[in-house]
Amino acid sequence: MEKQDNPRRARGRPRGWDDKTEQNTIKSLDRAMEVFEYLSAQQGITLTALAEQTGQAPSTAYRILVTLEGRGLVEFDAEEQLWHIGPRAFAIGTRFLRRTSLVERARPVLRELMEATGETANLGTEKQGAVLFLSQVETHANIRAFFPPGTLSAMHASGIGKALLAQMDEARLARALQASREAFTARTITGEAALRADLAAIRERGYALDDEERNEGMRCIAAPVFDVNDEAVAGISVSGPTSRVTPESIVALVAPVRHAAARLTAAIGGTPTWPRP
pLDDT tens by residue, the chain, 277 residues: 444 555 555 555 555 555 555 666 788 999 999 999 899 888 899 999 999 999 999 999 999 999 999 999 999 999 999 999 998 988 887 676 565 689 899 999 999 999 999 999 999 999 889 999 999 999 887 776 777 788 889 999 999 999 999 999 999 999 999 988 999 999 999 999 999 999 999 999 999 999 999 999 999 999 999 998 899 999 999 999 999 999 999 999 999 999 999 999 999 989 887 654 3
Q: How crowded is residue 50: how many other Cβ atoms within 10 Å of its Cβ?
A: 21
Q: Cβ(260)–Cβ(110) under 8 Å?
A: yes
The domains of the chain, with CATH numbers, are 23-97 (1.10.10.10), 100-267 (3.30.450.40)
Q: Looking at this protein, which amino acid is placed at residue 141?
A: A
State how far the Cα of 174 lies from the Cα of 177, in Å rounded to an integer: 5
State how far the Cα of 151 lies from the Cα of 133, in Å rounded to an integer: 5
**Overall pTM surpassing 0.75 (yes/no):** no
Q: How crowded is residue 159: how many other Cβ atoms within 10 Å of its Cβ?
A: 30
